Structure 1
Amino acid sequence: MKALNRFFLLPLATLFMAGLLWTCSEDFLEVEPRGALGEAILSSEAGIEGALLGAYAQLGGRGNYFSGASNWANGSIQGGEANKGTNDGDFTDINEVVRYLLESTSRVPSDRWNGLFEGVARSNAALRLLSLSTDPLLTDADKARLEGEARFLRGHYYFQLKISFNQAPFLTPELSVEEQQVVVSSADIWDEIEADFRFGYENLPETLPEAGRANKWAAGAYLGKTLLYQEKWAEARTVLRDVVTNGQTTNGQPYGLLDNYADAFNAEFDNSRESVFAVQAAANSGTTNIANPDFVLNFPHNTGADGPGNCCGFFQPSFDLANSFRTSNGLPLLDNSYNSPANRLANDQGLEGNDPFTPDAGPVDPRLDHSVGRRGIPYLGWGPHPGFPFIRDQPYAGPYSPKKFVYYASQEGSLSDGTSWTRGYASMNYNIIRFADVLLMLAEAEIETDNLDAGRTLINQVRARAANPDGWIKNEDGSNAANYVIATYDMPFANKDAALTALYFERKLELSGEGHRFFDLRRWGIAKTELDRIIAHEQQFLPASYAGAVFTVPQDLFYPIPQRQIDIQGPDVLPQNPGY
């Protein structure tokens, strides 16, 4: 249309001459738009694949910072696993997340809404092109795969919208732009999400030639998760059992736990047998756009050559999370007594780097030192964590640094990218679903269907991997860096409540910092109790960081719908969530 508009603005004399030349034909009016590809071209196999790759590319939330799949702010900070970190004046939008003070005009929910709907739009674009395709080279199997991948991705984006906002208008490629603008938002979109994942589970190939694509088993795992969130325990158990028993990576390797826990967060083991579905990343490709943007702020601050990334000190683990790794006879303290003065970890809060400090000598789960950077413990080949020098504002955010999704010293310049404003662009994937998560989801479904021993076996499978001493953090002399003591649950659970308590805590330990915690607490119905407890505990040590923090129900169970969207659509089409 732009080309036609420009044509009709030509001088009248030129139009007159054109009329003389094309008196017998109007073909000259049919001008293809310049700089754009028509749907006839894009509906080829190559065009559909290109649209699909665009939908995959949005998984990392590029362009909308808080829409990335890692959910480090939306899931982990909201879930009490970490505070904002850094200092009070840096990226103040996240202060509202820590303190549960979000409003309908806040940046975090707006970024999340926009980024996730960008993913929906890209997924629907691929589905629309597929519906228009007459490419003779596309077989029925090709069409089923392409539709399965596009619907899987749409399912992912809507799953994230559902758990973040509870309601969203469900858009399909058949709707015109005008029709999309009046689709009434609904909280009842689980059926549509479930249908998208089920289509992928039933139609996607078991293996695919390229890593990073969704296969049958990734769709099955996400379907199982969707069923779990709806408390369809028996159905979830059936699907998740299939994934655990028969699932395999895109290259045909059976799913399984890596021998060492830390390797699940190491770029050298990307797309391993533990990776069910992951956001793909790469470094030193000529652009930082395909490195991992989600964690670029979450490296120790001002480390110079002595540490990774050099910026910016966000996402510091909470005292509550660190203390949670305390053990007694190898098992966690399920009564939350880990925060008591007798049990909580010794830490260097209030100490500068040259002040003497001795790391905690009590028994801890070895996953602590793969999840939390703490003074005196080796930090990914950069030497012992120095404490205060790695922390931007210790009185504000505490003594701990994040450790998952931080690159190793040996990977500087190879699996990290230093061509942009910070060296923090790294190439590790983020696993949206990893196999340990699947095992624990299946354990939950087993327990909820009264198969307590089956649930215990699955929990123990996860704990047994953590108990492998070959994967524990070591000092330079080869000795253990801390007093690591971990055991399995060798006695049957006393009852269902006891089994669920152990399961809930195991998810906290195994999946810490991976963006799951808040959504788990809410679906279990214990968000208010747990977050009130954590806020009260953290305020003792970090009063400025948690100033004014109050978790209010039902308001803080979901994000507010962005006010700008309501202004565009109208409150009848897009009503605000309760409490805002």
Structure 2
Amino acid sequence: MKTSIIKGTLMASMLALVTFACNDKFLQVPATGQLASDQLTSRAALDGLLISAYSQLNGRGYDQSAASLDWVRGDMSGGDANKGSNSGDFNALTPFQTYVSLNATNAEVNFKWRALYEGISRANMVLRLIPSAASDVTDADKKRISGEARFLRGHYYFMLKRQFNMVPYVDETVDYGTGVDKVPNTEDIWAKIEADFQFAQTNLPATQSASGRANSWAAASYLAKTYLYEKKYALAKALFDQIIASGTTASGVKYALVANYTDIFNAAKETNSESIFADQAAANTGSADNANPNLNLNFPYNTGSAGPAGCCGFFPPTFEMANSFRVNANGLPLLDGSYNSSANELVTDMGLASSAAFTPDAGPVDPRLDWSVGRRGLPYLDWSVHPGQDWIRDQTFAGPYSPKKFVFYKSQDKTLTDGSSWTDGYSAINYNFIRYADVLLMAAECEVEVGSLATSLNYVNLVRNRSANSAFWVKTAAGANAANYKIAPYTAFADQATARTAIQFERKLELSGEGHRFFDLVRWGVAAPVLNAFIAYESKKLPVAYAGAKFTAGRDEYLPIPQTQIDYQATDASGKKILTQNPGY
């Protein structure tokens, strides 16, 4: 089992810190429901506040759109998955896949904003109190605690930046009582995000006692990712080089690909060499909120046969995403887009009852398909063979597939899932914000721009070769390969354009359903053509789900600033609200 931070709410963390001693100070009773500043500056108190800042990583309490695995924006808006279920269930999410009706009054947009700023507020509280730390807080403690707090603040602002672009920057010097509503969103905050990750990299140790705590390598990875988003490829490459070369005796850390792709998403095996920074989840701690609370809708909708959680049919992979795993006779992706052609698209059971005969697709596919997509006729982890329509609430709206990556095993039910709530969908499966395969593919991008095509090729092939180990391919009950799996390394990248195309497609396959796709498309500057082509194809399969869908360049790359937040902010001397709305909203 993993050693990790068990996270709770701020109040729970702080109540655990309040102790009473049997001495003559017992008459000095603190005000009920309040904590004095001297109660918050001990080592235990500061660490409790820091854990509270970690606890906001999964956006608990702010609905599905605030989840650490940003499946609503990262995957639904990116074409990896659709909302699923049926047209009437939780239809506040539907605009994230159609774009046109996503507006500033959408509650889910505000939930995302609030969840991230809540995390920032908690990190700022830690940083505000460190200068007045009690005598039991050593200089080493201050260095570590402030490093973790600034790492977390950098993380939350990174998420805000790529969601909303121009956002107000509030640090520990801002008075939350009188000044927080006066901060405009006119300054680009990339430099401040860089500064937080640079500080964290310098001040954090290479290893931590608990797997959930950020270390210097996590900070370096996030800083490199920040540089990549800014297209500072040389700076990013230098850091990625260090991370890939990790493993010296001095560091005590070695990041590497795990042999079995599915171990990344297995709660019993997920603390491993591939996990660089993850939101830690734990089941059966006394609160389902310590498990993974924002994915509890994303399981097959079981009607005809038993399956995991029994609810609710959200987050199914799209036709286009599943088709992307089609390969040619040599085991390479169809980079020309022909995977969506009638000759190459996957055979599905769309429109067929589970009682009707069906033969799964027999063509060659990347083995990651059946680690990522639940499809009829193939084993669904250790639950059963996927029965098709009996596990889909409404095929005409959701399509024929089920999510698979963040689904627990039947053998783990009630042990690595939390049975204290309405569903077993509260699992102990972590979400990796950054994993080593992600680092290799980001490094490959940098090599294409400022380094070596040969090195880039090597990084991509490391990722592909991991999935070529047939011992870990999905098997039937008889032990045979469950489908016609083929995957091979690239032999060469002819030029930069070819390399870019291959790397971008490899990220699509390797990281599908992990919240990256939409943000990748935006930073590559190809969101409008790629997503409108996706809509043109997917809407033929699911016309109701994608009715009226259209991605508008210059607007839909970023979410609107929530109207609630604009209304809350103060006005300037001319009577205009401090916050400026994003273009097009």
Bucket of the pairwise TM-score, normalised by the shorter protein: over 0.9
Alignment of 1:390-539 (within 5 A): 390-490=391-491, 492-539=492-539
- Whole-Å Cα distance in 2 between the matches of residues 577 and 402 of structure 1? 33
Q: Secondary structure at the match of 2:380?
A: coil
- Whole-Å Cα distance in 1 between the matches of residues 433 and 175 of structure 2? 31
Name the structure 2 match of 1:200. Answer: 200
Alignment of 1:545-564 (within 5 A): 545-564=545-564
- Whole-Å Cα distance in 1 between the matches of residues 192 and 312 of structure 2? 40
1:341 aligns with 2:342: yes
Q: Secondary structure at the match of 1:267?
A: coil
Name the structure 2 match of 1:22. Answer: none
- Whole-Å Cα distance in 1 between the matches of residues 256 and 35 of structure 2? 44
Q: Secondary structure at the match of 1:92?
A: coil
Contact 1:249 1:255 in 2 (8 A): no
Contact 2:81 2:315 in 1 (8 A): yes
Task: Pick the aligned partner of 2:36 from 29, 35, 38.
Answer: 38
How far apart are 1:450 and its partner, in Å?
Answer: 4.0
1:115 aligns with 2:115: yes
Q: Secondary structure at the match of 1:259?
A: coil
Name the structure 2 match of 1:8. Answer: none
Contact 1:211 1:251 in 2 (8 A): no
Contact 1:212 1:271 in 2 (8 A): no
Aligned-residue RMSD, C-alpha? 1.6
Name the structure 1 match of 2:189. Answer: 189
Name the structure 1 match of 2:242. Answer: 242
- Whole-Å Cα distance in 1 between the matches of residues 426 and 315 of structure 2? 16
Contact 1:207 1:249 in 2 (8 A): no
- Whole-Å Cα distance in 2 between the matches of residues 526 and 249 of structure 1? 42
Name the structure 1 match of 2:14. Answer: none
Name the structure 1 match of 2:295. Answer: 295
Q: Which runs of 4+ in 1 moved over 3 A?
A: 247-253
How far apart are 1:252 and its partner, in Å?
Answer: 4.1
Contact 2:277 2:433 in 1 (8 A): yes
How far apart are 1:513 and its partner, in Å?
Answer: 0.2
How far apart are 1:302 and its partner, in Å?
Answer: 2.6
TM-score, normalised with respect to structure 2: 0.92
1:575 aligns with 2:580: yes
> Taking structure 1 as reference, are residues 260 and 248 closer, same or farther at Cα in structure 2, changes over 3 Å only?
farther
- Whole-Å Cα distance in 2 between the matches of residues 252 and 361 of structure 1? 46
How far apart are 1:271 and its partner, in Å?
Answer: 1.6
268-277 vs 518-527, greater mean Cα deviation: 268-277
- Whole-Å Cα distance in 1 between the matches of residues 304 and 271 of structure 2? 30
Structure that is richer in helix per residue: 1
- Whole-Å Cα distance in 2 between the matches of residues 389 and 332 of structure 1? 31
- Whole-Å Cα distance in 2 between the matches of residues 32 and 481 of structure 1? 64
How far apart are 1:305 and its partner, in Å?
Answer: 6.8
> Taking structure 1 as reference, are residues 248 and 420 closer, same or farther at Cα in structure 2, changes over 3 Å only?
farther
Q: Secondary structure at the match of 1:555?
A: coil
- Whole-Å Cα distance in 1 between the matches of residues 132 and 249 of structure 2? 31
Alignment of 1:267-416 (within 5 A): 267-303=267-303, 306-328=306-328, 329-416=330-417
How far apart are 1:131 and its partner, in Å?
Answer: 2.2
How far apart are 1:247 and its partner, in Å?
Answer: 5.9
Q: Deviations over 1:385-410 (max 9, x none)?
A: 00000000011110000000000111
In the alignment of these two chains, the number of paired residues is: 549
260-269 vs 479-488, greater mean Cα deviation: 260-269
Name the structure 1 match of 2:136. Answer: 137
How far apart are 1:31 and its partner, in Å?
Answer: 8.2
TM-score, normalised with respect to structure 1: 0.93
How far apart are 1:51 and its partner, in Å?
Answer: 0.7
1:81 aligns with 2:80: yes
- Whole-Å Cα distance in 1 between the matches of residues 30 and 373 of structure 2? 57
Contact 1:204 1:215 in 2 (8 A): yes
Contact 2:67 2:295 in 1 (8 A): no
State the AA in 1 paired with 2:413.
Answer: E
- Whole-Å Cα distance in 1 between the matches of residues 547 and 476 of structure 2? 38
> Taking structure 1 as reference, are residues 248 and 282 closer, same or farther at Cα in structure 2, changes over 3 Å only?
farther
- Whole-Å Cα distance in 2 between the matches of residues 411 and 485 of structure 1? 30
How far apart are 1:445 and its partner, in Å?
Answer: 0.8
- Whole-Å Cα distance in 1 between the matches of residues 516 and 286 of structure 2? 33
> Taking structure 1 as reference, are residues 173 and 216 closer, same or farther at Cα in structure 2, changes over 3 Å only?
same
Name the structure 2 match of 1:60. Answer: 58
- Whole-Å Cα distance in 2 between the matches of residues 315 and 237 of structure 1? 34
- Whole-Å Cα distance in 2 between the matches of residues 164 and 337 of structure 1? 31
Where does structure 2 lack aligned partners over 5 or more consecutive residues? 1-27
Contact 2:79 2:531 in 1 (8 A): yes
- Whole-Å Cα distance in 1 between the matches of residues 457 and 180 of structure 2? 47
Q: Deviations over 1:234-288 (max 9, x none)?
A: 0000011111111699994411111011111110112211110011111122221
534-543 vs 170-179, greater mean Cα deviation: 170-179
How far apart are 1:94 and its partner, in Å?
Answer: 0.5
How far apart are 1:448 and its partner, in Å?
Answer: 1.1
- Whole-Å Cα distance in 2 between the matches of residues 71 and 123 of structure 1? 21
Contact 2:300 2:311 in 1 (8 A): yes
> Taking structure 1 as reference, are residues 456 and 294 closer, same or farther at Cα in structure 2, changes over 3 Å only?
same
State the AA in 1 paired with 2:555.
Answer: Q
> Taking structure 1 as reference, are residues 56 and 487 closer, same or farther at Cα in structure 2, changes over 3 Å only?
same
- Whole-Å Cα distance in 1 between the matches of residues 187 and 298 of structure 2? 33
- Whole-Å Cα distance in 1 between the matches of residues 300 and 30 of structure 2? 53
State the AA in 2 paired with 1:430.
Answer: Y
- Whole-Å Cα distance in 2 between the matches of residues 168 and 174 of structure 1? 17
State the AA in 2 paired with 1:469.
Answer: S
Contact 1:377 1:481 in 2 (8 A): yes
- Larger-Rg structure: 1
